[in-house]
Amino acid sequence: MTTQTADSELKARHRSMWASGDYPQMVDTFLLPLGPRLVEACPIEAGTHVLDVAAGTGNASIPAAQRGARVTASDLTPELLDAGRARPDAEGLDITWVPADAEALPFDDASYDVVMSSIGVMFAPHHQAAADELVRVCRPGGTIGILSWTPEGMLGALFATMKPFAPPPPPGASPPPLWGSEEHLRGLFGGRVELHTLEKQTLEITAFSRARDYGEHFKSYYGPTIAVRANAAREGRETEFDAALDAFCDTWNRGTPDAARFEKEYLIAVGTRV
């Protein structure tokens, strides 16, 4: 198998994974605050030419466009873009929805004032390739803004919990939560981006009555969890997986048995393209 064929198959699996379940439902349930937080951290105003990489359903694209920006929302999974395009708050806004691979963006060099991604580009398997593309399409003096879950936070712990049940990662792939590490980001950008904002914040999640409802939600709607549980089922380990996920939810619950509360840490990193 050639490298190109292997990469095409990997991207096809990723598209299928993110199209499984119901990621738009997850966004509506507890992820909506994140996009506006990233937009607020970036200098986006009327007329700004913005690219949202791995935009999903437009959680950051829509608030950027509501400020009068000209936005391109790109994502590997067309189904997510379709869901974003259909959102009532996207109607009448200047948003172009473009299927695109974050590791090979179909846009010209230095063509955007702001290049951003909210819990999106972190899931591209080859981090350096994705970071190089973010830099390439941003004009010198422009802004690159990234919001990513942290390795030591709740999402990092979730991926650590699922790892023993997942198939081996493809060659060259890196764990998504590394994008929430300042050291990793600086290594990816290699001096090409002057990072002036590095701020850890927390998303508080109170959408679930019981802690383990969070895990059930992920098993129903979140593509990566669905894929890992399916692999565990093929190995006859789905009961073990479910128990591990239940224990994870119990451990991270900061609320009560009848009113669960989770605190999900993320890093906002904003810098200027040199």
Strands (E), 65-111: 70-75, 95-99
How high is the pLDDT of residue 6?
75
264: enclosing H helix or E strand: strand 262-273
Neighbour-count burial of 126, counting CB atoms closer than 10 A to its CB (0-12 exposed, 13-18 middle, 19+ buried): middle
pTM: 0.96
**One-character DSSP codes across 203-229:** EEE---SSHHHHHHHHHHH-HHHHHHH
Average pLDDT per block of 10 residues along the chain, 274 residues long? 74 94 96 98 96 98 98 98 97 97 98 98 98 98 98 98 95 95 98 97 98 98 98 98 98 97 98 98
* Nearest to 27, CA basis, from 51, 61, 67: 61
What residue ranges define each of the domains in the chain, with the CATH number in brackets?
3-162+169-206+265-273 (3.40.50.150)
Question: What is the distance of C-alpha 114 from the center of its chain?
Answer: 17
Reading phi first (left if > 0) and then psi (alpha if -120 to 50, else beta), residue 222 is in: beta
